[in-house]
Amino acid sequence: MKYRELVRPGVLSLPVYEPGRPIEDVAREFGLDPSGVLKLASNENALGPSPKAVEAAAQAMRHAHLYPDGGALALRQKLAEVRGLKPEQIFVGTGSNEVMVLLAQAFAGPGDEIIFGEYAFIVYKLAALLFGAKPVSVPMPNLAHDLDAMAGAVTDRTKIIFLPCPNNPTGTLTDPDDLKSFIRQLPPHVIFCFDEAYAEYLENPVDLRPLIDEGHKVFCTRTFSKIYGLASLRVGYGYGDPELIALLNQVRQPFNSTGVGQAAALAALDDHEFVARSRASNAAGLRQLTEGLERLGLECPPSRANFVLMGVADSRTVFELLEAQGIIVRPLHGYGLSQYLRVTVGTAEENQRLLSALEEILAGPQAASVKGALERR
């Protein structure tokens, strides 16, 4: 018998998450120097990692032969201090991705439903399918969450609602007052998971801690992969009611976050100068990309994250032409957004390189075949 005949049936229907292409793969395919390949595909911090985190990680490597603190106590205590919470309200995981998957594992299974926006982070759908729950995708007119439609999708079988703000991959925000009103009206059998992966890029992010204190079933997640620049160390966390955190600890694997990652994250929380510099650099980059893309006649919906959408009619062609010039962006076919490419905000020089490459494509010999792909829809 083949493995496909032995595997649990639901596994065969799982879509495979497609990350941004690695620099080395693109360099090898096009015969490029890897040092000259620009990756603007995975929403990584263009300024690199927090310097304080790098120093702490190097020190922690001296103890790499020891298992990490399985409960991440020091990190949870620091996070509690920073976020105005109690340590028992915080759960640390291998990136916020794992935290959300564990939430689905703990609370959703066959016969249950998980709700999310049609253009929201694809892992929400994957988490539902992984544990046999039904994924319920709600339309997002104008690339933004429709809270009325999401409320209308709730049934007796709904277990979890996932909603990110800013949303990935569209970069859109949800009005804080509308969001809080929406949560307060949810029935008591529904857990609302608020994905705050890009919250640190906002001057005034939505704060749902008061709703947790009020007793609403709210669970929030954050990551050290984005503004802190620690994507390869895979550290994230969630916070909510202590009872919920205790249940998540029952389904997590031992030592699910590394000692090096915990040490780096702990130090990054004190790197206020780096965070401020990253936020300012990102704001300037958003303006640069938005204005530059619009000058080229490209649709560029407003974004509040560290990426923008670039509207094109033939995204696959434009993606490949950019790759040939050593610039990696992100196609969004898996999100149902086949007429967009997602572009991470880079440094000023990197953003200009992308804009110049697009201008060159428009003016070059490929223009006759791709001009339609580069015009505003």
pLDDT at residue 236, rounded to an integer: 98
Strand 158-164's sheet: what is its strand order? Answer: 90-93, 236-239, 218-223, 191-195, 158-164, 113-117, 134-138
pLDDT at 376 over 60: no
Sequence ranges of the chain with CATH classification 3.40.640.10 = 51-268
Residue-wise pLDDT tens digits, 330-367 = 999 989 998 999 999 999 999 999 999 999 988 877 76
- In the chain, the percentage of residues whose pLDDT exceeds 70 is 97
Residue-wise pLDDT tens digits, 76-88 = 999 999 999 999 9
Q: What residues contact residue 127 under an 8 Å CB cut-off, 6+ apart? A: 100, 101, 103, 104, 105, 108, 114
Residue with tokens 């033939």: 314
Q: Residue 365, preceding bond cis, omega within 30 degrees?
A: no
Residue-wise pLDDT tens digits, 158-212 = 999 999 999 999 999 999 999 999 999 999 999 999 999 999 999 999 999 999 9
Q: What residues contact residue 313 under an 8 Å CB cut-off, 6+ apart? A: 339, 372, 373, 375, 377
pLDDT at residue 7, rounded to an integer: 87
Q: Which amino acid makes up residue 221? A: T
The conformation of residue 299, written as its DSSP 8-state character, comes to B
pLDDT at 368 over 90: no
Average pLDDT value for residue range 39-65: 97
Mark out the alpha helices in 169-228 (DSSP H runs): 176-184, 209-213
Average pLDDT value for residue range 28-33: 91
Sequence ranges of the chain with CATH classification 3.90.1150.10 = 3-48+272-374
Helix (H, G, I), strand (E, B) or coil at 110: coil
pLDDT at residue 314, rounded to an integer: 85
308 contacts 330 by C-beta, under 8 angstroms? no
Q: In this structure, are strands 236-239 and 218-223 parallel, antiparallel, or unpaired?
A: antiparallel
Superfamily of domain 3-48+272-374, CATH level 4: Aspartate Aminotransferase, domain 1 (3.90.1150.10)
Query: Where do the DSSP E strands lie in the chain?
Result: 38-39, 90-93, 113-117, 134-138, 158-164, 191-195, 218-223, 236-239, 307-311, 327-328, 330-331, 340-344
Give the integer Cα–Cα distance in Å for 87 and 205.
22
Report domain 51-268's class.
alpha beta
Residue-wise pLDDT tens digits, 1-11 = 888 888 887 88
Residue-wise pLDDT tens digits, 262-299 = 999 999 999 999 999 999 999 999 999 999 999 998 99
pLDDT at residue 9, rounded to an integer: 79
